[in-house]
Structure 1
């Protein structure tokens, strides 16, 4: 099997590979604030943008291979979401199986415990095969004084030809009322993931069964 050297993840056109803290974010924040005069709604919008900046900074600190996201104003309101890819390597002398790795994901950083709605399952990614997935509503500690609840989806992609190594695709959104729609979107984005060779060709998935 040809070894994987790179990866590809297709994201919607309105998502940017940026740190969500620059001029575009400021313009989107201004548009969102202009849509309401309700002080509580304006406070919530400001909180969401503050959370967005902290999430992107946290992704950089944790060594994300890819960080992408969106802050988009629709007629129905503001939608924010983030996508990140991290490399996970098996510690020398230890076995990191999919069940073990799954059990370590989806833990709320603010509390150290798994959310009540956490689900560990399998998923079919067309260009990868059967993978482990963890979903749940996590309370994430961004700074000493900022906790945020996020709908999260972590999907583990085994690296072809490198036993025990994974790329973890993490998707997150603070739009909790849109739970079903958000998870459908995250699944669609994650399903585009594929490993590539140095020449940019897809790495063939070994048949199973």
Structure 2
């Protein structure tokens, strides 16, 4: 479970600016490293390759990227790490926007319980047949073993499984899915703070003002660095 302040408490314009600065800086620093966890590239005939082609995506190493003209970064929508000699899966957060992930043909001994936390878009996974689907079978609409692989299809909304959206969240909060078997609680309108016990407007400027200034500096430094690298080529 994850707790966060209600979005309605933050100044919309300030939140938008800070979010984009933070995400852009973070994304640039990761530099799509998850796409280079394994040598080679996605093949057209593979499951992820076919998905990428049908989605009009662009292949970059082991990733399928969604081309977008509306942002400065590209979302990973597919990740193919099949046959990469992986024994453990612990950190794939660079691909948290993926809709499809293939981890088949790997001697995986275990997968971290939080490896797919935040993967709210993930809808299809291919795993070695002896590896359990993230979050367990109850976190997926369909689970089957086929041709030596375990297929996990249709991630379920953890909050809706009981039919009571806030059953696992504190009073004055709402539940939202946060990856297979995970959920997060956000404060309802006019509530914020620890366990959403404080009522009133969230002090967004005081809390996020210094952070926003820091992200501006980081973004400028990244931009200057990239410009210098471009000139040196």
TM exceeds 0.5? Answer: no
**Of Structure 1 and Structure 2, which has the larger fraction of its residues in helix?**
2
Q: Which has the larger radius of gyration?
A: 2
Q: Kindly indicate which of the two structures has a greater share of residues assigned to strand.
A: 1
TM-score range, shorter chain: under 0.3
TM-score norm. by structure 1 comes to 0.27
TM-score, normalisation: structure 2:
0.25
Greater relative contact order (CA < 8 Å, ≥ 6 in sequence): 1
